[in-house]
Amino acid sequence: MPRPIDLDFPTFARNYFARLCHGYERALDDTRVRVWLYGHKNPSDHGGAWDASTRFFPALAAWLADPTRPRALAWRGHTVQLDELAHSILLRAFDPDAPGYWGREEYPRREQRTVESSMLAYGAWLLRDTFLHELPERARECFRDWLEYFGSGDLVRGNWNLFWIVNHAARKALGWPYSQNIIDEAWARIESLDRGDGWMTDGPEAYFDDYNWWVFGTHEQFWMQLDGASDPERVHRIRARIRRRLEDFPSFFGADGSYSEYGRSLSYKFGRLGCAIHALREDDWPHETGMLQRIVRRHLAYYDDQGAVDRRFDTVRQELSEFGHPAVRDGYINTGHPYWCMHAFAALWQIPERHPFWICPEEPIPVERADFRRVVVPAGWIVDGVRQGGHILRYSLGTQHGRGEYAAKYGKFLYGSHFPVDFGSVEGDFGPDSALCLTDGDHWVHPGCYDDFCTAADYLRARYTLQVGIHAISCETILIPRGERCLRLHRLAVPRGAAHLLAVEGGAALGYAPGQAPAKRVDRKALLSLARCGARASLIQGLQGYARAVRAQGFRGNEQLNGVWDRAITPALEARLPAGKATRLVCLTWAAATLPDQFLAPKVKTKWSAKGDVTVTWDGQTLKCAPLPIRD
């Protein structure tokens, strides 16, 4: 019997969808509009997670919009009536007299239902020519009133403006009451977030993450379908922006379908595919069609292989894998939220059956072709792909979004497809994997907000402050990546009167599965710490300023903090930072798919000038890093 990934692509996609539909239907309660799921609850789960239904609805609608498709799908002997699932939402969810009613006036006009209203309105538009008009008048009236209520609150900063845009644009397209003023004002706010090269910051400065795919990338294209004819110039700008951003898209995927997981809302998983698939439908996908088919198939299969789709219940987990740490879930992620992933299928089922996408040969993705580098200047990322091992290394030093609970999701120096970070905390503190942390024995601080940064072709540089108790430590960091290896330079100024601090810096977290036993090596003289598991290895070596190499271990003895792996350990270095002085540190990290048995320590010289530029000679190659700008 063939493995699922070996099936022809249309069968693979249909089976995957049928399985998710089966899991969703099994989890519904008697109201048929609320879902009871295992996972980490928040108040949105009280009475059943209604938002699982809102997020499933566009995928159901996209399937049902084609009258030639069957209204039911079978999975392992169980038949799921897709039309009944969609009808239940439209008939019951918005009617105050119906069981399972999702509520209206008892909630603020601007809240989570504003987000969900955009998907419901878009899905209804997809059903405009099939059975939307067959609904009883009361059901249509309740639905319109619900959309109008949650589309009438005050606008905010960030991606949320697109939820108002799609809500109103869908009502406009359906001939229902809407506000053009809200659409126009929301668009003005969205356009102000463009930071070049196609990338959007999510409200404040330097807030870059996958919302560029699963809100900016999808909802802008929804509006193009719904209302684009009213503003051709805006359509042109959006298409150019999305095409440019999608030039970078394949560079974040490992050869096995993995992804360099970074930022918040990672519970949405393969929802990031929706942007690219919609763009293909609009002829805005800037790569080979067969490459996108390969990305879609392998990315879906990757999450299945990791157990992100629960094999007992066919439901979508909040975590990235069966054993991944639940801290990948943000506080607002209830058990229904992960179904944002269904944006992938809402896009897939709008690709015509005869489109080459369904039958063309697959094309290799960038990391399968050759080593490569992509520089995403606005976000402060250098993305290196290493063909041997097929993995991606996203070096990052430009976020301002890593405060508090987001430190591990944004503030690490490296986010690798094969070296995912430790998202979990211990006693509220995040570990030193791919980070420079400071402690005075009573406080522990992890970086997360880089105040000023520079993104160049060969290096990243940032200035930031780490607050240890009452003392502010001024820091500068330079990352010089070369594929799997990265040279890190730091300059830390500890004020007079501060207690002596300890810097703890880790290489990449090395994940491993139950039953595996990683090998560890420490060379105290060479200041080298190494962990291996099979061919994969994580290494860190101190070259200047460090006092001790530390055996690879879990943070404070806890190995179960990783976003994907059941267990992970981190090799580390320690350095003592005297008060009243500037300390300079230099180290090498290596996150290797296959580490050679023998390797030489790098030959490195660094020079920090009084003007702020830094000259680095690494194994005979010299690089000059420009000074960061001085803020007024």
pLDDT at residue 500 tops 90: no
pLDDT at residue 569 tops 70: yes
Q: Using DSSP, how many helices (H) and how many strands (E) does the chain show?
A: 15, 25
Assigned token pair, 138: 């009361």
Q: Is-contact 615 607, C-beta < 8 A? A: yes
Q: What are the tens digits of pLDDT across the range 199-249?
A: 999 998 999 999 999 999 999 999 999 999 999 999 999 999 999 999 999
Q: What are the tens digits of pLDDT across the range 396-423?
A: 999 999 989 999 999 999 999 999 999 9
Q: Is-contact 257 299, C-beta < 8 A? A: yes
CA dist 198 and 368 (Å) reads: 25
CA dist 124 and 141 (Å) reads: 13
CA dist 509 and 554 (Å) reads: 9
Assigned token pair, 441: 């024995």
Q: What percent of the chain has pLDDT over 90?
A: 95
The pLDDT score that the predictor gives to residue 348 is 98
**Residues 295-314, mean pLDDT to the nearest whole number:** 97
CATH topology for the 375-598 domain: Beta-galactosidase; Chain A, domain 5 (2.70.98)
CA dist 198 and 214 (Å) reads: 14
What DSSP string runs through 5-42? GGS-HHHHHHHHHHHHHHHHHHHB-TTSS-B---S---
Assigned token pair, 210: 């996958």
Assigned token pair, 184: 């126009």
pLDDT at residue 1 tops 50: no
CA dist 16 and 25 (Å) reads: 14
pLDDT at residue 488 tops 70: yes
- The 8-class DSSP code of residue 106 comes to T
CA dist 506 and 525 (Å) reads: 18
Smallest Cα–Cα separation from 376: which of 223, 215, 262, 474? 262
Smallest Cα–Cα separation from 93: which of 104, 109, 105? 104
Query: Strand 567-577 vs strand 528-533: parallel, antiparallel, or unpaired?
Result: unpaired
Assigned token pair, 310: 């629960």
**Residues 381-402, mean pLDDT to the nearest whole number:** 96
Q: Is-contact 236 191, C-beta < 8 A? A: no
pLDDT at residue 6 tops 90: no
CATH 2.70.98 domain residues, the chain = 375-598
CATH 1.50.10.20 domain residues, the chain = 4-368
CA dist 540 and 414 (Å) reads: 13
Average pLDDT, the chain: 96
Smallest Cα–Cα separation from 88: which of 98, 76, 77? 98
Q: How confident is the model at residue 599 (pLDDT cuts 50, 70, 90)?
A: confident
CA dist 109 and 94 (Å) reads: 15
Q: Which CATH number fits domain 4-368: 1.10.520.10, 3.50.50.60, 3.40.50.2000, 1.50.10.20?
A: 1.50.10.20
